Copies of this chain bind each other. A is one copy, B any other.
Amino acid sequence: MEKRRGTRADYRHLLAIPTRWADLDAYAHVNNVVYYAYFDTVVGDYLVRHGALSIATSPVIGLVVETGCRFFAPITFPDIVTAGLRVGRLGNTSVRYEIGIFRNDEDAASAEGHFVHVYVDRGTQKVPTPLPPILREILTPLAVSA
């Protein structure tokens, strides 16, 4: 993981996610846990809205096998977060998403992380399965070279 603090231009897709009162912890910061809720929201929103995921019926689904995040500066409520999304690696059976979390109008990320999906058959949820073609198609524009 590189150490430079990214900016919005490092990402290919942006989604606004308002913070919630319940996101705050006892120090009145958005709790570290909640950043991961922003991560799977920007990913899931993109997949559903582009037709690559039906939560109820998709025969293959992505299971999360690894996530991580580095935190640079706090966020609070009622900030508006913008989540930036790019694809760091588009594999045969897996995708590595990279996410930047931007506070209000700031251009430097408040946090950056990753989120790895492995695709499996929904029934057995065991054996990795090739990414569905529609998924590969919609993710290609988000891919960055490493």
Interface residues of A (CB under 8 A from B): 16-18, 20-22, 24-29, 31-34, 36-41, 43-45, 48-49, 55-56, 61, 63-71, 74, 76-78, 125
Contacts of A24 in B (CB 8 A): 25-26, 55
Which of A26, A45, A74, A78 has the most B CB atoms < 10 Å from its CB?
Answer: A26
Copies of this chain present: 4
Q: Is the CB of A40 within 8 A of B31?
A: yes
Is B26 a contact of A55 with CB atoms below 8 Å? yes
- Pull 6 A–B residue pairs with CB atoms less than 8 Å apart, ordered by A: A21-B25, A21-B41, A21-B44, A32-B64, A66-B70, A74-B125
Asked if residues B40 and A33 are in contact (CB atoms below 8 Å), the reply is: yes
User: In the assembled complex, which residues on chain B have CB atoms less than 8 Å from the CB atom of A55?
Assistant: 24, 26, 28, 76-77
| A25 touches which of B18, B22, B38 (Cβ 8 Å) | B22
